[in-house]
Structure 1
Amino acid sequence: MKVKIGSSKIVRPLYDDGVAPGDAGEWVPLSVLDKVTYGEHVAIIYAFQPPNPPNAALELGLEKALASYREWAGRIGVGPDGQRSVLLNDAGARFVEATVDAPLSVSLPFGAPSPESRRLHPKIDAVVELVQVQLTRFSCGSLVVGFAGHHQIADGQATGNFLGAWGLATRQLPVYPIPVCDRGTRFAPRDPPLVEFLHREAEYKAAPARADTDVGEDEDEFFAAAQGKVKVHRMHLSKEFVSRLKARASSGLPPSRRGYTTFQTVVAHLWRAITAARGLGAGVTTKIRISVNGRSRIRPPVPREYFGNVVLWAFPRADAGDLVSRPVGHAAELIHRAVAAVDDAYFRSFVDFASSGAVEAEGLVPTADSDETVLCPNLELDAWLGINFCDLDFGNGGPFYFMPTYYPMEGSLFLLPSVLGDGGMEAYVSLFENHLDQFKKICHKIT
């Protein structure tokens, strides 16, 4: 696929009265929840059927959306107080226009993300713009939108809100939802603080003795080398398959106990199948890093419109041999307990610990480390099932395809709503090629 870049420019917020709100050059401190997540861009890819509005309309919509979600147009740096912060300087977002002189179906048959997918959004390493957008037009009239946003500015929920607002603004409708932008003050520690849980080795770890190789130094060569080692497989889980899986997982529960959720069951099944495909046995501990949205868990709840990060992680773990030999309900119970434990008390304890000065004094760094390219025997899960990513509508309906970009991190796992609209879901599984071959043989067996 030959992608021809037509233009690359900066797009700045467009205010109704032409005047930016607040003080020019204001610094907004990142919250402790912003700082503990991945300090990099996350890219997603949409595909829209024709007809589509012209690029100028999408650019104007982006300018209007940035006026409400102003932090996306700023820059991350160190504020006057020495804290990592966002400078509200309206420096703008990157806006790239591109074309492919071929139909989309021929150029990029959609399946699992591949290295070619990365041509559909700007490079995401070592860039200063907090948002980058690429519009790629194909000869058939299809439009592919590649969006990349810096994770420390927004988690999945906040990013989904922004993308929906961009679609509304493009259709000349009022921007909605209006973001709640109070990251600098919302997550204050208690007085006195109360650290009830262990946060070292959960959200934080000791800094490594030496830095790992920087992917950004030679991004193209890195992904070319990884392509032959790590493959991404898209597994479709139909509504019927999930129903049978849930029935199997919950079959051993007492009548008074509520059955396991779709999320708990599917993740349990994938955890067991991947562990078996890797050939892991007794004596090996395997765990999953599961993102947990705290908006409804914190008391009082954080508004759904909050613009920032409200995510910590659950870490269910098990002996690999025990995990595979016991039924799927056992794994579902481990996941249920671990996720339930990330409650209001846990979030409050984390805020108190992260604000205590212990992180700086001990030289701790976040365990959310994108330099880890091989996670075996562990997994990292991002579930986008409850996030409104597909609300992005530029005027002709939502996308007909949506996926994460290609990133060959062995052991990464994404769960998305099905692109088929059948009530099922898609799992994007990244494994070494020999393990993936085995995974494909067993992933649809219910045990």
Structure 2
Amino acid sequence: MKITVLSSKAVKPDYGDDGDTPATTTVVPLTVFDLISYDDYMFGIHAFHPPSPPNAALEAGLARALAEFREWAGRLHVDPTTGRRSILLNDAGVRFVEATAGDATLDAAVALRPTPDVQRFHPSAAADDGITEELMLVQVTRFACGSIVVGHAMHHAVGDGFAISRFLVAWGQATRGVAIYPVPVHDRASLFLPRHPPRVEFEHRKKEEKENMHNNHAAGGDDDEVVIEHVRFSREFISELKSRASKLKGPYSTTQCLTAHLWRCVTKARNLDAVTATRLHLAVNGRARMRSSPRVPEGYTGNAVLWAHPATTAGELLSEPLGHVAELIRVEVARVDDAYFRSLIDFASSGVMEEEGLVPPLADPEAAALGADVAVYCLLRVPFYDVDFGGGQQFLYTPGYYPAEGVVYILPPSPVGDGSVEAHVAVFRRAVDTFKRCCFSIDEGA
């Protein structure tokens, strides 16, 4: 299938004929949670059956949404005096790419499977000169059957997965001509002020510092090629996992049980020595965790994520019951609570974050492997499937292609509503058969 780019243009915020045009010199300093996010783009692909709005309507809706979410139309800025990073709200715009698949029809099962080919449907975040200034790039690809695929690349320094999904939902609302909801909240300063006096109650260096976990030991042969396995767990399989896990202390959630199961399966597929240490890195959303005032509102447009890091040995992980692993995860996630988030804010206010260059442990998502560790991004509650440009709800969402062995994406529940859960799991080709046997066997995996 050949994808042909028809046009590429900058789309700037549209404030309307009666709207006041805001200043384009405003600078919004990044928060501690923005600064410790990946300095890279997050990708995603959304597929829609016809009827589909014309590209002109999508472009106009994008311009109206950007008037409410100016961050995405801005540029990253570094203060030459302090070195502090921020977002310059200069309304320079986002990149809007129009493409066509010619006479091809969309077979989502083939075209959108998690292989390198899927990158054709989201815009490249690499410019010819190696520098991309846009914080958001989108590509609309049209098929002969009337279906469209909307791909996006959005900079993680501006917002996390929840913030990105909220903007995409707002883009759909603006295209349909309805009010944007939830109302975006842009105040990055007052939500994360340090306490007086500051209370650093936890050791943050070992959690937020740069740790090069990636183990680039691949020999370069075919067996060391990283492939992404798309796996689907039925409602019945999930129920059985939760039932078995909860025999100890439970009940445990779907996220806890499935994360525990996949951690075990990836570890088993790697055939590690029993004494090898392995850690799980699980993203924790602070919107629900930061319960003290000020609360982080649903419409917050920045980053509010930290990581939990349960750890054990490969031997313990595979020999103990599933409930034991789920409990390890539950305990570590529970520790990343309001007190922990607030303590990090106080720690960062001292200037140590900038002075010591502390960044999150997964600093390079493009690295070849995570060694003995596993990173899980759970998107079960991220509202990507609420995106609707006027032709109805999308029928498929998939994250971008991330060929980093040991990275797991638990995908949002599909509109089918059958209770199944899907995941993308990056493994070495040599380990695929072992992974699949474990993945779909209750006895081996639990």
Please give the TM-score of this superposition, normalised by the length of structure 1.
Answer: 0.91
Residue 246 (structure 2) aligns with: 250
**2:341 maps to 1:340:** no
Aligned to 2:417: 421
Letter of the 2:430 partner, please give it: N
**Letter paired with 2:101:** V
Q: 1:244 corresponds to which letter in structure 2?
A: E
RMSD: 2.2
Output one character per residue of 1:233-285: Cα deviation in whole Å (capped at 9) or x when no partner: 011011111001100000123xxxx5011110110111111111111231111
Is the partner of 1:312 in helix, strand or coil? strand
Name the SS of the counterpart of 2:353 in structure 1: helix
Summarize deviations over 1:74-116 as a string: whole Å, max 9, x none. 0001136541000000000000000012434458715641111
State the identity %: 48
**What is the CA-CA distance between 1:12 and the residue it aligns to?**
0.3
Would the aligned equivalents of 1:45 and 1:404 in 2 still touch at CA under 8 Å? yes
Do residues 355 (structure 1) and 349 (structure 2) align?
A: yes
CA 1:160 to 1:365, structure 2 compared with 1: closer, same or farther past 3 Å?
Answer: closer
Describe the shift of the 1:149–1:207 C-alpha distance in structure 2 as closer, same or farther (beyond 3 A). same
> What amino acid does structure 2 have at the position aligned with 1:100?
A
Q: Please show how residues 19-418 of structure 1 align to structure 2 within 5 Å.
A: 19=19, 22-79=22-79, 82-106=83-107, 109-110=110-111, 112-125=113-126, 126-205=131-210, 229-253=225-249, 258-298=250-290, 299-300=292-293, 301-370=295-364, 371-418=366-413
Deviation string 1:204-255 (CA, Å, 9 cap, x unpaired) is 13799xxx99xxxxxxxxxx999971000011011111001100000123xx
How far apart, in 2, do the equivalents of 1:395 and 1:364 lie?
A: 43
Counterpart Cα distance in 2 of 1:280 and 1:207? 19
Task: Indicate yes or no: 2:432 matched with 1:436.
Answer: yes
Q: Which amino acid aligns with 1:27?
A: V
Q: Secondary structure at the match of 2:287?
A: coil
- Amino acid across the alignment from 1:187: F
Worse-superposed segment, 89-98 or 415-424: 415-424
* Amino acid across the alignment from 2:228: V
- Structure 1 residues 243 and 362: CA distance shift in structure 2, 3 A: same
Partners of 1:185 and 1:351 in 2: CA distance: 12
Inter-partner Cα distance in structure 1 for 2:117 and 2:222 = 13
Partners of 1:123 and 1:171 lie apart in 2 by 27
Q: 1:226 to 1:404 in 2, by over 3 A?
A: farther
**1:252/1:287 Cα in 2 relative to 1: closer, same or farther (>3 Å)?**
same
Shift of 1:296: 1.6
Could you give the per-residue CA deviations for residues 275-330 of structure 1, whole angstroms, max 9, x where no partner exists? Answer: 11111231111111111001121113210111100100000111110110111001
8 A contact 1:37–1:368 mirrored in 2: no
Q: Is the 8 A contact 1:417 1:424 kept in 2?
A: no
What letter corresponds to residue 65 of structure 1 in structure 2?
A
Q: Is the 8 A contact 1:380 1:411 kept in 2?
A: yes
Say whether the 8 Å CA contact 1:49–1:141 is kept in structure 2: yes
Q: CA deviation at 1:349?
A: 1.0
Structure 1 228/397 Cα, relative in aligned 2: closer, same or farther at 3 Å?
A: farther
- Work out the CA distance in 2 between the residues paired with 1:266 and 1:312: 20
Residues 154-189 of structure 1: per-residue CA shift (max 9 Å, x gap): 111111111111111111112222210011332121
Question: Is the contact between residue 207 and residue 363 of structure 1 (CA under 8 Å) also seen in structure 2?
Answer: no
**Deviates further, 149-158 or 190-199:** 190-199
Equivalent residues, number: 430
**SS of match in other structure, 1:407:** coil
Alignment partners' CA distance in 1, 2:108 and 2:282: 34
Structure 1: tracts of 5 or more residues without a match: 214-223
Distance in structure 1 (CA, Å) of the matches to 2:89 and 2:18: 16
Name the CA distance, whole Å, in 2 between partners of 1:121 and 1:227.
Answer: 28
CA contact (8 A) 1:41 1:124 kept: yes
Contact kept in structure 2, 1:102 and 1:139, CA below 8 Å:
yes
Kindly provide the amino acid, as one letter, of the partner of residue 203 in structure 1: E
Matched residues in 2 for 1:73 and 1:227: separation?
A: 43
Answer whether contact 1:111 1:234 (CA < 8 A) is retained: no
